[in-house]
């Protein structure tokens, strides 16, 4: 059944999340179908030929396109307000594809220094191997961006807020500078989610997600997505994905579609709980350097609140006693699980210096504020009094 995607753009956000891009098979099922198929059959050899030479628009192979995956891509397109989207097998596949599809030897990438461990690996180690020059800047300092983007650049990559240090990038200002330098701006919007922040509205060109985080939000599967203009998706990204193959499984696409239906509700509760926990932590003498974008004490609170409609689900802080103190705190938690995932219904905590950012040198970690005392708490959907009580007992222990 054909759908009018342009008409659906006028639906309210919640309607787009629940119903956007839903197609139904001949069986008229209520729920989105899982098209668990790698390939498709043709009526004739002629039809196969036309499908490959572009005369006929249809599904030919699930590495290229799949009906369930396409529902996810189109629904996310509607939610983000983008022109187009491609889904990937994981968030890292999305990050890598968004950069590798447009960069070549001799090009220059400018990235903020505070990045998720694997994003940092791609920018600092992998891309330079292919002759791409990468310059890192302190993403919070607009003068550093002005300096770095006073020369031509091909692309800019930022995370805002960053994982795990919750640094905020002035997206509007950086996008304006990038435009003058001729650079395509890619924003990793995982921490903000499409509910809280719309990078395209600030001038970004490409938005990437790890759908593993809030979009699934229930710890079930990996997934990712890249959104941008029709031209970028069609000309740069799609050929890269078709021929390198980091395709999302139709089953995972279906799980993520279910996740999108409740994303708005879940993110609102995540943020409500996180703010309450951040306020409770403000009262604790054992906590040092508490970071939450929704608190006025966050060094970039005003900017964060100008770009995001709430503070997000992650609270970061330092506990007294260095690594031993942080480990003692984590080990004494009874309800909150130690895990490196985030955006889950279950509250999860991790020690970035020894897990997600273990690969960095102590100096590189220090530059982005990841000390041995630093912990990252992804606040879940549990009863918030139970969470604050768990944190309080673990701090006392
Ligand atoms: C988790 C994460 C990724 C990677 O996503 P995966 O789905 O785990 O591959 C990328 N960027 C940020 C900011 C993340 O938090």
Residues 254 and 270 both lie in one domain: no
* Ligand 1, atom 4, residue with closest C-alpha: 91
Residue 3 falls inside a structural domain: no
**Domain of residue 198, CATH code:** 3.40.640.10
Which structural domain, as residue segments, surrounds residue 382? 263-396
Separation of 91 CA from ligand 1 center, angstroms? 5
Q: Is the pLDDT of residue 8 over 60?
A: yes
Last residue of a domain, one of 220, 236, 261: 261
CB count within 10 Å of CB 139 equals: 24
State if residue 224 touches ligand 1 by the CB under 6 angstroms criterion: yes
Per-residue pLDDT of 182-223, as tens digits, reads 999 999 999 999 999 999 999 999 999 999 999 999 999 999
Residues 178 and 118 both lie in one domain: yes
CA-nearest of 285, 274, 310, 292 to 384 is 274
Last residue of a domain, one of 234, 261, 288: 261
CA-nearest of 335, 334, 321 to 375 is 321
CB count within 10 Å of CB 106 equals: 10
State if residue 92 touches ligand 1 by the CB under 6 angstroms criterion: yes
CB count within 10 Å of CB 105 equals: 8
CB count within 10 Å of CB 366 equals: 13
Residues 24 and 63 both lie in one domain: yes
Residues 144 and 134 both lie in one domain: yes
Enumerate residues 6+ apart whose C-beta is below 8 A from 20.
8, 11, 74, 75, 78, 79, 260
Q: How many CA atoms lie within 13 A of 64 on its CB side?
A: 11
Per-residue pLDDT of 71-102, as tens digits, reads 999 999 999 999 999 999 999 999 999 999 99
For the segment 293-298, the average pLDDT, to the nearest whole number, is: 98
Mean pLDDT, the chain, whole residue set: 97
Give the pLDDT band (50/70/90) at residue 1.
low
State if residue 210 touches ligand 1 by the CB under 6 angstroms criterion: yes
Per-residue pLDDT of 316-326, as tens digits, reads 999 999 999 99
State if residue 111 touches ligand 1 by the CB under 6 angstroms criterion: no
Q: Is the pLDDT of residue 354 over 70?
A: yes
**Domain of residue 268, CATH code:** 3.90.1150.10
Q: Is 287 helix (H, G, I), strand (E, B) or coil?
A: strand
For the segment 219-241, the average pLDDT, to the nearest whole number, is: 98
* Ligand 1, atom 2, residue with closest C-alpha: 210
Residue 191 falls inside a structural domain: yes
Residue 20 falls inside a structural domain: yes
Separation of 92 CA from ligand 1 center, angstroms? 6
pTM greater than the 0.95 cutoff: yes
Q: Give the chain's domain count.
A: 2
Pocket test for ligand 1, best of 89, 98, 159, 163 (most atoms within 8 A of CB): 163
CB count within 10 Å of CB 153 equals: 22
Residues 21 and 125 both lie in one domain: yes
């Amino acid at each position: 059944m054909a759908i009018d995607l342009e008409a659906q753009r006028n639906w309210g956000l919640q309607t787009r999340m629940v119903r956007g891009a839903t197609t139904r098979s001949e069986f008229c099922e209520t729920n989105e179908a899982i098209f668990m198929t790698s390939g498709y059959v043709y009526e004739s050899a002629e039809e196969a030929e036309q499908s490959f030479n572009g005369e006929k628009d249809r599904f030919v192979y699930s590495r290229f396109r799949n009906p369930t995956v396409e529902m996810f891509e189109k629904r996310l397109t509607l939610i983000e307000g983008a022109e187009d989207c491609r889904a990937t097998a994981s968030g890292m596949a999305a990050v890598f594809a968004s950069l590798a599809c447009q960069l070549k030897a001799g090009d220059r990438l400018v990235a903020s220094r505070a990045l998720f461990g694997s994003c940092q690996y791609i920018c600092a180690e992998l891309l330079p191997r292919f002759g791409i020059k990468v310059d890192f800047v302190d993403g919070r300092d607009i003068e550093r961006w002005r300096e770095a983007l006073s020369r031509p650049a091909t692309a800019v990559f930022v995370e805002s807020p960053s994982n795990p240090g919750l640094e905020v990038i002035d997206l509007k200002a950086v996008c304006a500078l990038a435009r003058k330098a001729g650079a395509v701006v890619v924003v990793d919007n995982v921490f903000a989610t499409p509910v809280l922040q719309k990078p395209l509205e600030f001038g970004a060109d490409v938005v990437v997600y790890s759908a593993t985080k809030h979009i699934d939000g229930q710890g079930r599967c990996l997934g990712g997505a890249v959104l941008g203009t029709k031209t970028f998706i069609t000309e740069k990204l799609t050929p890269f994905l078709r021929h390198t193959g980091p395709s999302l499984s139709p089953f995972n696409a279906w799980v993520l579609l279910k996740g999108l239906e409740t994303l708005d509700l879940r993110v609102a509760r995540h943020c409500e709980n996180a703010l309450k926990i951040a306020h409770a932590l403000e009262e604790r003498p054992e906590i040092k350097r508490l970071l939450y974008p929704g608190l006025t004490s966050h060094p970039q609170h005003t900017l964060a609140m100008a770009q995001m409609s709430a503070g997000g689900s992650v609270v970061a802080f330092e506990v007294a006693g260095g690594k031993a103190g942080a480990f003692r705190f984590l080990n004494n938690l009874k309800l909150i699980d130690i895990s490196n995932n985030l955006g889950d219904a279950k509250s999860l905590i991790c020690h970035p210096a020894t897990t997600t950012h273990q690969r960095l040198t102590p100096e590189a970690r220090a530059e982005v504020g990841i000390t041995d005392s630093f912990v990252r708490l992804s606040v879940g959907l549990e009863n918030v009094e139970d969470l604050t009580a768990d944190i309080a007992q673990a701090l006392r222990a």
